[in-house]
Structure 1
Amino acid sequence: MKCLELLFPKAESTKTSLILLASRLVFGLTFASHGLDKLQHFSETAAHFPAPFGLSGEVAVGLSIFGELVCGLAFVFGFLTRLTLLPMIFTMIVAFTTVFGGSISAGELPFLYLIIFVLSWFAGAGKFSVDGIIRSKISRDNS
């Protein structure tokens, strides 16, 4: 049951859930747009993409596309939000530290995404999400 509570936290108030929804829409869609751009220009991006951990440029871009586009869209819908946020957070840590050298002035965007995603991990998706629907179904089934 603890695992289910971690993945599908209890519903918040309507106001809080609306704020979480707005946050997911704004940040999830803008984040996913970065992944879509990388996908559309895969070859050009892979040629100059930083390859941390000894990965090839193609593999690094592929992982970045997964973290940004696939997970970004899952975040928009609030689907397995806490699980989905882990690759997004990792992608922004790598971008912030390896590409921008940990400089907030140079890496402002990945730093802001990182903060938003960490806060979202703690908050959960709210009741206006796929997670919220799953949580209410689990609650009904356990009653």
Structure 2
Amino acid sequence: MPKTSAQLSLLICEGRKIRPLLDLISNRGKILQAIIAALVVQGLACSAALAGGTCILHPQAFRLRSDTIRWSIKIKSGEQCIQGLRWSTLMIDKVSIIEPPKAGRLIVEGPSFRYFADSAGGSDYFKLEISGTSLRVNGVSSLEVDVNRQ
């Protein structure tokens, strides 16, 4: 098996021992495939981490006391925002979509939501109702979310 490019070119020029050459090329192909796969997986993990919560930097807390809170999302077209709704003293029982977004897509996942911005720019809006307990008192909050797609 050749160790250097000089040994590899010698094998090619002399026209002998072609099978080890083919094995070497095949092994390098497998290594290259593994490297590419690792980079793709790492890239997907990084994009998922960036999508999860950076669209609302300082969300105002709701208290489940019949309060209405307004949040703003800044998001690029075609991307998604994942935002949790838990706070330290809250136990969330239910999250309901009161007004769905007009342009994007919204999914409630447990005590969180995921908003998918469509490819067109502009603004969007949706409204959620959160019910649960805060300091052992049952209550409800409304969450109005303005979306600015860039």
Give the TM-score normalised by structure 2: 0.25
- Report which of the two has the higher share of strand: 2
TM-score scaled by length of structure 1 = 0.26
Bigger Rg over Cα: 2
